[in-house]
Amino acid sequence: FCFGTQTLFLQTLSFSFSLKSAFDNWRKQNALQTLKEENEALWKMFFFYNLFQDDPCPKCEEDWEHHRGKCYYFSTHKLTWEKSRNKCRDKGGDLVKIDGRNEQRRLREVMIDDADKFWIGLTDSEEEGQWLWVDGSPLDESFWGHYQPDNWIWEDLKGEDCVRMGEKDGAPDLNCWFDKSCQVPHRSICEKPEKNHQNVSECV
């Protein structure tokens, strides 16, 4: 009788341990699943917060537009080509250098009015016909308007040694460059690299 009682006690104890172990496993799995769901919910909140909030580390300064690693400033004042370039330098940049079709398209999209005519950083002032960007690199891909450049001397007897984007009743496509007298005042497009923040504490 004592041996049977002892066996029953051990079986009951073993069952109790098994039941406790099963309950502990269920509780751990349930807690793990809850943590997983909470983690997914937090990530969703983080994603949508960043989707609709301003970047805590803006790539460009106020009044500058960001596009593919560059910052652009579209001036509102009309100046000569040289004075426009000096203004861009004062802002830490230079007149825009257009590196290809994608950049030309992006800048062209901004020009929706007849008055949208902007100096860009291209000139042949050093040698006629040898077009150079402000960084000294030669012109590669170009987007000249019809019959451009023509070096017309009507506005300036020295000819037309600077390049402007945009033209009233001009080409509606990407080919909207025109050589103009550098002394005629126009608006301009400045360009500089985007800010490279190493961490959030560097944001200003």
Give the residue, 190 or 23, on which the prediction is more confident: 190
Q: 112-121, pLDDT tens digit by residue? A: 787 889 999 9
d(CA 95, CA 40): 46
HSE-up of 45 (CA within 13 Å, CB side)?
6
What CA–CA distance (Å, rounded) separates 190 from 91? 8
- pLDDT band at residue 156 under the 50/70/90 scheme: confident
Q: What is the DSSP string of 124-156?
A: -SSSTT--EETTSPBP-S--B-TT------SS-
Residues 6+ apart with CB under 8 A from 78: 185, 186, 187
128 or 51, which is more confident:
128
> What is the bridge-based pairing of β-strands 118-123 and 187-193?
parallel
CA 182 to chain centre: 30
Stretch 157-168: mean pLDDT, rounded?
Answer: 86
Tell me which of 91 and 23 has the higher pLDDT.
91
CATH class for domain 65-193?
alpha beta
pLDDT digits (tens, 9 = 90+) for 21-80: 666 676 777 667 766 666 555 554 444 444 444 555 778 999 999 988 999 999 999 999
Q: How confident is the model at residue 18 (pLDDT cuts 50, 70, 90)?
A: low
